[in-house]
């Protein structure tokens, strides 16, 4: 991966500048409260830098998937403003429209309401991009998790703003991926789990050329297990991708579990039963790797120098099918390899199994994570590159 030159927010004097920061504050919210503030915390460094420099700071983000152009309470960033105010220990007013930005004085901060309430966000409309860029002297792109989208708040505004640069988080994310992908210390093991091969096909193909081994888990593993000729009963898998799975397995080492945890229903209360891989019955679903496999795979991580992890190894939301994910998460954390983990469900697993401290770099990106590994250029990053020459 080649990292282009992109101007960093560190290189710009922000004193008395109107600074608009695109952060990724798309966090889970329940009953009006933020339930995981990891993405907010990850955005604080750039926000603090701008505030300390004496800028007038407005942060913007999307939240969830509202109908574009329509306000909806459930997608309001109000709970995020509240949490941000607690973390910064200062007031963070919520601004309904971009035109409300001038209310924020130098040295103060405001949060613009969900950018997806604004018409033209997803279509990257020139009109909305102009409205946003009119509000700032410096646009700071810090939303790595949304950098694979060319939206008005990530791309159009960067094109039109008087100056555009990368925030500290985006910069750190890109450097972590460059470190992992350009010249990874070998052996490199990639752990790719999750529901469907189809969503991670390209990433598996790219990793087949980079990694020494790929451990596949979750529904993805089921397709590989079926491709290896085993009965998988009623497990989630993608029959149309059996050929593709065989092809990938022919290019890089992909182990098949020797034992698995099966259930008869996709249910929180389903009983988990250990089965040898050649013993799965027609009415059973594979929902996790078994204990022998988990231990063996954890041991294979001992000699790894680089580990990349995206996606759970089973239905970890149900505790009885979470052991495979827990054991491997712990093995990654215990390993001395450089490790990078990312993706929404992966972060939830990292939280659930308390392994944050053992992982070298935890990425806030899911889609952006996969697209970088696939070798794609992230549109928002490309725009910053163009604005940096
Ligand atoms: P993804 O968004 O592709 O990373 O998929 C994550 C989801 O895959 C999680 O919600 C898991 O519960 C689910 N998952 C993992 N393993 C399995 C499995 N064996 N069968 C069905 N779903 C699974």
Above 90 in pLDDT, residue 199?
no
Tokens read off for 238:
């993608």
Residue 376 reports pLDDT greater than 80: yes
Does the C-beta of 328 come closer than 6 Å to ligand 1? Answer: no
- Asked whether the beta carbons of 207 and 252 are under 8 A apart, the reply is yes
- What is the Å distance from ligand 1's center to 257 Cα? 17
Task: Please indicate whether residue 287, judged by its CB atom, sits closer than 6 Å to ligand 1.
Answer: yes
How many other C-beta atoms are found inside a 10 Å radius of the C-beta of residue 89?
6
Q: Mean pLDDT score of the chain, rounded to an integer?
A: 96
Tens-place pLDDT, residues 302-338: 999 999 999 999 999 999 999 999 999 999 999 999 9
| Contact yes or no for 313/327 (Cβ under 8 A) | no
CA 142 from chain centre, in angstroms, equals 14
196 is catalytic: yes
Give the atom of ligand 1 at the shortest distance from the alpha carbon of 221: 19
pLDDT tens per residue, range 344-375: 789 989 999 999 999 999 999 999 999 999 88
322 ligand 1 Cβ < 6 A: no
Does 197 have pLDDT greater than 90?
Answer: no
DSSP string, 228-247: TT---TT----GGGHHHHHH
Going along the chain from its start, the domains and CATH numbers come out as 9-168+377-387 (3.40.50.1260), 186-336 (3.40.50.1260)
Measured from the CA of 200, which atom of ligand 1 is nearest?
3
pLDDT greater than 80 at residue 1: no
Statement: residue 2 has pLDDT above 90: no
**Do residues 103 and 111 touch, judged by C-beta distance below 8 A?**
no
* Residue pair 287/254 in contact by the 8 Å Cβ criterion: no
Reply yes or no on whether 366 is catalytic.
no
* 263 Cβ inside 6 Å of ligand 1: no
167 within ligand 1 shell (Cβ under 6 A): no
Task: Write the pLDDT tens digit of every residue in 39-57.
Answer: 999 999 999 999 999 999 9
What gap in Å lies between CA 145 and CA 44, rounded to an integer? 15
Which residue among the candidates 264, 367, 375, 385 is catalytic per the annotation?
A: 367
Strands (DSSP E) along the chain, which ranges? 18-22, 29-30, 33-34, 56-60, 94-95, 109-112, 138-141, 163-166, 188-192, 213-216, 259-263, 273-276, 285-289, 306-310, 338-342, 361-363
Ligand 1 centre and the CA of 349: distance in Å? 12
| 324 catalytic per annotation | no
Residue 293 Cα to ligand 1 middle (Å): 18
Cα 237 to middle of ligand 1, angstroms: 11
CA of 313 to the centre of ligand 1 (A): 8
> Is 10 a catalytic site residue?
no
Measured from the CB, is residue 218 less than 6 Å from ligand 1?
yes
Whole-structure pTM value: 0.89
Q: Which of the following is catalytic: 48, 196, 352, 385? A: 196
**Atom 5 in ligand 1: residue holding the nearest Cα:** 194
Q: What is the per-residue pLDDT for 174?
A: 95
Atom of ligand 1 nearest to the CA of 195: 8
Residue whose CA is at the smallest distance from ligand 1 atom 4 = 194
Please give the average per-residue pLDDT across 194-209, as a whole number. Answer: 89
DSSP 8-state code for residue 223:
H
Alpha-carbon torsion angle 82, 84, 86, 87, nearest 10 = 170
- Please give the distance, rounded to the nearest whole angstrom, from the Cα atom of residue 153 to the centre of ligand 1: 31
Among protein residues, the one whose CA lies closest to atom 2 of ligand 1: 194
User: 58 CA to middle of ligand 1, Å?
Assistant: 37
pLDDT band at 343 (very low <50, low <70, confident <90, very high): confident
């Amino acid at each position: 991966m080649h990292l282009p030159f992109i101007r960093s927010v560190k290189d710009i004097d922000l004193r008395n500048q109107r600074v608009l920061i695109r952060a990724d504050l798309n966090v889970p919210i329940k009953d009006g409260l933020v339930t995981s503030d990891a993405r907010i915390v990850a955005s604080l460094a750039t926000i603090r830098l701008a505030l300390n420099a004496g800028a007038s700071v407005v942060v913007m983000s999307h939240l969830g998937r509202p109908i574009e152009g329509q306000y909806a309470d459930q997608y309001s960033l109000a709970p995020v403003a509240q949490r941000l105010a607690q973390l910064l220990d200062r007031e963070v007013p919520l601004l309904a429209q971009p035109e409300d930005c001038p209310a924020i004085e130098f040295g103060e901060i405001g949060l613009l309401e969900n950018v997806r309430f604004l018409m033209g966000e997803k279509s990257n409309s020139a009109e909305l991009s102009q409205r946003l860029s009119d509000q700032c002297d410096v646009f700071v792109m810090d939303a790595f998790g949304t950098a694979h989208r060319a939206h008005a708040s990530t791309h159009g505004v960067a094109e039109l703003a008087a100056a555009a640069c990368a925030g500290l988080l985006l910069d750190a994310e890109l450097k972590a991926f460059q470190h992992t992908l350009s010249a990874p210390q070998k052996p490199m093991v990639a752990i790719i789990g999750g529901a469907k091969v189809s969503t991670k096909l390209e990433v598996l193909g790219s990793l087949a050329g980079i990694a020494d081994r790929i451990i596949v888990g979750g529904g993805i593993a089921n397709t590989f297990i079926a491709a290896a000729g085993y009965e998988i009963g009623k497990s989630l898998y993608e029959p149309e991708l059996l050929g593709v799975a065989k092809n990938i397995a022919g290019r890089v080492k992909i182990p098949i579990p020797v034992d698995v945890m099966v259930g008869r229903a996709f249910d929180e209360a389903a009983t988990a039963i250990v089965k040898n891989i050649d013993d799965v019955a027609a009415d059973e679903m594979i929902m996790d790797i078994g204990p022998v496999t988990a231990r063996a795979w954890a041991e294979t991580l001992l000699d790894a120098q680089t580990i990349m992890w995206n996606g759970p190894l089973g239905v970890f939301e149900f505790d009885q099918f979470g052991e495979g994910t827990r054991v491997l998460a712990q093995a990654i954390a215990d390993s001395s390899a450089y490790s990078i983990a990312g993706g929404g469900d992966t972060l939830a697993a990292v939280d659930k199994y308390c392994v944050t401290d053992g992982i070298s770099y935890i990425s806030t990106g899911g889609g952006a994570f996969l697209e970088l590994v696939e070798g794609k250029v992230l549109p928002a990053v490309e725009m910053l590159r163009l604005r940096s020459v």
